Amino acid sequence: NAGVTQTPKFRVLKTGQSMTLLCAQDMNHEYMYWYRQDPGMGLRLIHYSVGEGTTAKGEVPDGYNVSRLKKQNFLLGLESAAPSQTSVYFCASRRPGQGRNQPQHFGDGTRLSIL
Amino acid sequence: GENVEQHPSTLSVQEGDSAVIKCTYSDSASNYFPWYKQELGKRPQLIIDIRSNVGEKKDQRIAVTLNKTAKHFSLHITETQPEDSAVYFCAAMGQAGTALIFGKGTTLSVSS
């Protein structure tokens, strides 16, 4: 089991460029999440999905779009990158429910720099 | 929606001392509170969690307490070691029970 895999690991973009971050999980988890991590700001929820074909906004959704066409994949898109989107992006997944039997698994993160 | 406040933002202790990190949450419907440890350049890793029907939970040198009436929970690390140095995040289950909302993190430094 690979767990949660994020692609790419690093990327540098110019302002205005677009790109897609890919998250793949092999644990058959229903729920998937995208967070961004900035110094002193913790992990902030961007968008999430509770099942294939569904998405929902989190705490900081502006400037991002997501899609969950397949259960195992959750894509995060930046249509027109801005320097304020420079961050480390983490994907996570888990089974429905709350508690020890449904831990949230994180990927290794994508470090994105926008010049 | 859920809001999680975490204090302190930085904490420095001597090896062998205890460390305490405190969090408060806003949504009284939240009933799951995990703690994550993140080492430099790594992914967050779950270290302990507690559900709202339990007041305290221990796992070796770490423990978590929950006061649901006051809507706060705490992480206690005893006999700290240099390898405990990391960023610790608390979280509460928000978004109607579908997503974890995290605090801003505490950078713990343990000096030998």
What tens digit of pLDDT does each residue of B35-75 get? 999 999 999 999 999 987 778 999 999 999 999 999 999 99
Beta bridge partners of B69: none
Instruction: Using the predicted structure, report yes or no on whether residue A101 has a pLDDT greater than 60.
Output: no
Residue A11 touches partner B, C-beta closer than 8 Å: no
Q: Which one has a higher pLDDT value, A28 or B54?
A: A28
C-alpha distances out from residue A9 to A23, A33, A110, B8, Å:
11, 17, 4, 31
Phi–psi pair at B73, nearest 5 degrees:
-145, 155
Q: Do residue A58 and residue B99 have CB atoms under 8 angstroms apart?
A: yes
Q: Do residue B49 and residue A99 have CB atoms under 8 angstroms apart?
A: yes
Percent of chain A with pLDDT over 90: 87
Cis peptide before A103 (omega within 30 of 0): no
Instruction: Using the predicted structure, report yes or no on whether residue A20 has a pLDDT greater than 60.
Output: yes
Mean pLDDT across A25-49:
94
Q: CA-to-CA distance for B48 and B36, rounded, in angstroms?
A: 7
> Which chain A residue shows the shortest CA-CA distance from B44?
A106
Q: Do residue B95 and residue A48 have CB atoms under 8 angstroms apart?
A: yes
Mean pLDDT across A30-39:
95
Residue A58 touches partner B, C-beta closer than 8 Å: yes
Mean pLDDT across B87-109:
91
Both tokens of B44, joined, read 């967050």
Residue B31 touches partner A, C-beta closer than 8 Å: yes
Residues in A touching B3 (Cβ below 8 Å): none
Lowest mean pLDDT among A95-109, B1-15, B19-33: A95-109
Residue A95 touches partner B, C-beta closer than 8 Å: no
pLDDT class of A57 with cuts at 50, 70, 90: very high
Encoded amino acid at A75, one letter: L
- What integer pLDDT is reported at residue A1 of this predicted model? 62
Mean pLDDT across A53-74:
96
Q: Do residue A59 and residue B1 have CB atoms under 8 angstroms apart?
A: yes
Average pLDDT, chain B: 93
Q: Using an 8 Å Cβ cutoff, are A101 and A82 in contact?
A: no
